[in-house]
Amino acid sequence: MADNNKKEIKKHYITRSESRKIAKENSRAIAGFEKQKKRKVRPEEYVTQMKDDKNIVEFEDLHTYFFSDSGTVKAVNGVTFSVPAGSTVGVVGESGCGKSVTSLSLMQLVQAPSGQIVSGSIRFRADMFKLDEKGKKIPVYEKYTDENGEEKIKLDEKGKPVIRKNGLGGNMYEMERQVVDIAKMPTEAMRSIRGREVAMIFQEPMTSLNPVFTIGNQLDEVGRLHIEGISKHQVKARSIEMLQLVGIADPEGVYKKYPHELSGGMRQRVMIAIALLCNPKLIVADEPTTALDVTIQAQILDLLRDIKGKINGSIMLITHDLGVVAEMADYVVVMYAGRVIEMGTAEDIFDNPLHPYTIGLQKSKPTVDKEADSLYCIPGFVPNPINMPNYCYFRDRCEKCMEKCSGEYPGLIKVSDTHSVSCYLYEGEEVKNG
Amino acid sequence: MAKYIIKRILLALLVLFGVSIILYFLLRMMPINYVMEKFLPQINQGNMTWEDLGRIMKLYGFDLVMFKDENGTMLGEVNNSFGSIFTGYWQWLWNFIRGDMGQSFKYNEPVNEIIASKMGVSFGISFVSLIFQVIIAIPLGIKCACNQYGKFDYITTVLFMTLTAFPSFFLGNMVIKWFAEDLGWFPSGRLDSGLGLTGIAGFGDMIWHLILPMFVLTILSIGSLMRYTRTNTLEVLNADYIRTARAKGLSEGKVVYKHVFRNTLIPLVTVLASTLPMLFGGAMITETIFNIDGIGKVAYDALKEGDIPLAMCYNMFIAMLTVIGTLLADLMYAVVDPRVKLSN
């Protein structure tokens, strides 16, 4: 008993020498990762190939850790899933299970310096600018055929070649469709993807807009940054067009307003407008409706669905609300304590949930058709993510826990073409197909 | 807006009234009085009687109480009973309202003229040092916040906080010792070399004399402003809208100097507006150490020697500047932060 107590104490408190050791190791690790993010690399180092060409994003064995003073927090611990082009993927799980960190990793926005992508890869298919030997973008010039039938570059009055305009009114450059590994990309290169190819909508519309700049200023900023050569007038027109697209009734008026003059729902619409401005291929929506009241939630979700069709992009929707996922998602990824425990199409997960955690989540959702005195709740809490043991993290809360569960962490088992689960209950039910 | 300002000004008058009562009573209760100190030697030598002094004091508006000690020697002191001070205060207030600030005992000139003539130099020194403070401390603070707990952060913080911790008389004297006496680069005080230089040469000469005091004033205040900037920048750096700015793809420089800085500016403006009294009020200790004939030194002498009208006027001047400074800070808030609307 006494021995047991000692162990218990050791688990919760760290001695001074231990804490010093942790701090030392942390600062070394962080320095290494920060250096890697700042280094200058040639694009070849982070350009890769997709495993499946249908996907727009593939996460593979992603590890994102927080080097905290009390130890390394493995917030994302080996996550593998993909987002097929043109689809909506819902990522669900309790608070603190790594959903947001996964999405922030995709944007390289994990709170540095303590938070770092440690290993794994995030492959993203992006339209990258083609660069010449000097590392400059190659413009596409306006051409015409003269009377001799020869193709010539059009010149303006000053004799300079005229650059062709793209659909958004900016200069056209030679583009190249590349698959880049965001986990290996330096921050410098990542910047041209952020806001242009992937855009993010955050959880808190109330605090996500800068309070001292007008809505117009914050929208125009994105246009001016990513659409090179666009005129002031065109930027404004584009911003107002976006405000209109997200269903703001008085776009010209809102353009001139400050964020505090708008309601939460309006601000979230503005956030969506900012995200849409450069026609991104992927929108990452991190709990976009959590902070809004129910009627506005429905409107925002409708808007997101609408827009996905309009820009022909994909959405990665992070939420803890199963109702939202059921309504929106084509594919569902269930996360628990930094790992994917079950994934499949929305039908798979809702009609045939396999993992005891997913089943528990489903049961704890309020329904109208069943009469119940109190809502089901999964016993216990998400475990402390520091020094996690190597067995199923859900073991201590699981109703169907078996002897085998004390063994190694179960791998993902494919129970159908689209549906996989990481639980010993389904060992042997694997489908094997090429 | 106009309504707000008028309301604030009326409130300020009330504050100044209260301040003037406290100031007058405090100054009168000081154990020193310029007139008395001036004539005491003559009484001690026997050239003058206490009765004579009493009549003179009456001219200056004081009551002299005479009494005998146990040896039977005649002694006198200023009547500091509540009633006497109160009458003195009424008189001062009545004159003040009519625009008569009184005559300095020491200089025999109207005090407002004295203050006006000495303010220029003090304002010049403080203003230049404030500009240097701002252009050094704010960028340093921002840089420290961006490299929180890095080498740069630790080094600058330790260095400037150490300098701030020095008392001004200590740093002033050390600077005089090193740069004026040992190295001989700069003069140790005063405003000019006394060569009667005019024009550009005269101006250059004055600047040369003022470099050390300005240096001391700047160095002493960088630390606190830098720390203040650092704390505020850190707070803003963790805000959600900074993450949004990064998610847009903005460069780190743009994020920091546009999105972060504009928000850091909000609390900074208040601090800067409240330095207004310091700007005009002079640096009492620094001016004294460098023997600069500015308003700070004049006020210091007036307090030391019991020149009550001058000390009173100086302190009221500072009080007024403080009140104006806070009003200005509130108005500036509305300018830099669109969320603040000034209304009643």
Residue A193 zone, left/alpha/beta (φ > 0; ψ -120 to 50; rest): alpha
Contacts of A226 in chain B (CB under 8 A): 249
Chain B residue with CA closest to A30: the answer is: B150
Confidence of residue B19 (pLDDT cuts 50, 70, 90): very high
How far is Cα A104 from Cα A110, in angstroms, rounded to an integer?
A: 5
User: Does B248 touch chain A if contact means CB atoms closer than 8 Å?
Assistant: yes
Tell me the residue type at B289.
I
Q: Is residue B324 part of a domain?
A: yes
- Say whether pLDDT at A45 is over 90: no
Q: What is the mean pLDDT of residues A229-257?
A: 90
DSSP per-residue codes, B273-292 = HTTHHHHHH--HHHHHHTT-
Furthest-apart CA atoms within chain B: distance in Å: 91
Residue B53 near residue B76 (C-beta atoms within 8 A) = yes
A209 vs B: CB within 8 A: yes
Closest CB to B339 among A202, A211, A225: A211
- At residue A434, the pLDDT reads 42
**What is the distance in angstroms between the Cα of B254 and the nearest Cα belonging to chain A?**
11
| Span B259-304, pLDDT tens digits | 999 999 888 888 888 787 888 877 888 888 888 888 888 888 888 8
SS3 letters for A298-329?
HHHHHHHHHHHHHHCCEEEEEECCHHHHHHHC
Helices within chain B (DSSP H only): 2-29, 34-45, 50-60, 82-97, 111-146, 151-165, 168-175, 199-237, 240-247, 252-254, 261-273, 276-281, 284-289, 295-305, 308-336
Task: Decide if A209 and B244 are in contact by the 8 Å CB cutoff.
Answer: yes
Question: B207 with B125: CB under 8 angstroms?
Answer: no
Q: Is residue B181 part of a domain?
A: yes
Task: Mention every residue, 6+ apart, whose C-beta is less than 8 A from residue B136.
Answer: B218, B222, B226
Cβ within 8 Å, pair A193-B251: no
Angle at B80 between CA B78 and CA B86, to 5 degrees: 125
What b/e string do you get for B143-182 counting C-beta neighbours within 10 Å, with b at 16 or more? bbbbeeeeeebeebbeebeebbeeebeebbeebbeebbee
In this complex, the residue of B239, B248, B336 whose CB is nearest that of residue A225 is B248
pLDDT over threshold 70, residue B340: yes
What's B266's domain CATH number? 1.10.3720.10
Instruction: Return the structure tokens found at A120.
Output: 């794994």
* Residues in chain B within 8 Å Cβ distance of A191: 249-251
CA distance A268 to chain B (A): 12
Please give the span between the terminal C-alpha atoms of chain A, in angstroms, as a whole number.
54
Least confident of A145-149, A199-203, B123-127: A145-149
Instruction: Output b/e per residue, B86-114; b: 16+ Cβ within 10 A.
Output: eebbeebeeebeeeebbbbbbeeebbbeb
Closest CA to A226 of A271, A269, A276: A276
The predicted structure's pLDDT at residue A318: 92
Nearest-CA distance B250 → chain A (Å): 7
DSSP B182-199: IS--S-SSSSS-SS---H
User: Domain range spanning residue B206?
Assistant: 119-336
- The whole-angstrom distance between B252's CA and the closest CA on chain A is 9
Where is average pLDDT lowest: A280-284, A430-434, B76-80, B231-235? A430-434
Task: Determine contact: A208 vs chain B, CB below 8 A.
Answer: yes
A351: Cβ contacts below 8 Å, ≥ 6 apart: none
pLDDT at A403: 81
Interchain pair A274, B262: CB under 8 A: no
| CA gyration radius, chain A | 25
Is B318 a domain residue? yes
- A392: tokens are 């199923």
CB-based contact B263 A260, cutoff 8 Å: no
Residues of B in contact with A109 (CB under 8 A): 243, 246-247
Has residue B274 been placed in a domain?
yes
Q: Which chain B residues are Cβ-neighbours of A208 within 8 angstroms?
A: 240-241, 243-244
Put simply, whether B240 touches A (Cβ < 8 Å) is yes
Residue with tokens 């900023």: A221
Q: Does B246 touch chain A (CB under 8 A)?
A: yes
**pLDDT for res B193:** 65
Instruction: Say yes or no for a CB contact (<8 Å) between A200 and B247.
Output: yes
Per CB-CB distance under 8 Å, the chain B contacts of A291 are: none
Backbone angles phi, psi at A143, to 5 degrees: -120, 155
What pLDDT is stored for residue A209 in this prediction?
93
Give the tokens for residue A332.
């569902």
Tokens in use for A71?
A: 């130890």
Residue carrying structure tokens 């569902």: A332
Instruction: Work out whether the CA dihedral B60, B65, B68, B69 comes out positive or negative.
Output: negative
Q: Residue B180 above 80 pLDDT? A: yes
Q: Which residue of B has its CA nearest to A190?
A: B249
- Cross-chain residue pair B241–A196, CB shorter than 8 Å: no
What mean pLDDT is predicted for residues A131-146?
Answer: 78
Question: How many separate domains does chain B show?
Answer: 1
Task: Say if the Cβ atoms of B243 and A208 lie within 8 Å.
Answer: yes
CA distance, residue A222 to nearest chain B CA (Å): 6
Strand order from edge to edge, sheet including A331-336: A198-201, A282-286, A314-319, A88-92, A331-336, A339-345, A420-421, A413-414
Nearest CA in chain B to A103: B247
User: Is A202 an interface residue toward B (CB < 8 Å)?
Assistant: yes
Comparing A12-26, A270-284, A394-408, B65-79, the range with the smallest average pLDDT is B65-79
CB contact under 8 A, A225 and B250: yes
Query: How does residue B308 score in pLDDT terms, banded at 50, 70 and 90?
Result: confident
pLDDT of residue B194: 67
pLDDT-derived band at B182, boundaries 50, 70, 90: confident
Are A225 and B239 a contacting pair at CB < 8 A?
no
| A279 compared with B65, residue with greater pLDDT | A279
List residues bridging with A116 in a β-sheet: A65
Answer whether A221 touches B (CB < 8 Å). yes
pLDDT at position A12, please?
60
The whole-angstrom separation of Cα B108 and Cα B91 is: 19
Average pLDDT over residues B302-320: 89
Q: Is A258 on the interface with B (CB under 8 A)?
A: yes
Residue B55 lies in a domain: no
The span from the CA of A285 to the CA of A328, in Å, is 12
Reported as a single tens digit per residue, the pLDDT across B91-117 is 889 988 888 888 888 888 888 888 888
Check CB contact under 8 Å for A213 and B240.
no
B232 belongs to a structural domain: yes
Q: With the C-alpha atoms ordered A306, A311, A316, A319, is the resulting torsion angle positive or negative?
A: negative
Least confident range of A77-86, A124-133, A314-323, B239-248 = A124-133
pLDDT per residue over A55-103, tens digit each? 899 999 999 999 888 888 888 888 999 999 889 999 998 887 888 899 9
Residue B229 resides in a domain = yes
Q: Are B320 and B333 in contact (CB under 8 A)?
A: no
Residue B3 counted as domain residue? no
Query: Would you place residue A427 in the very low, low, confident or very high pLDDT band (cuts 50, 70, 90)?
Result: confident
Is the pLDDT score of A1 beyond 60? no
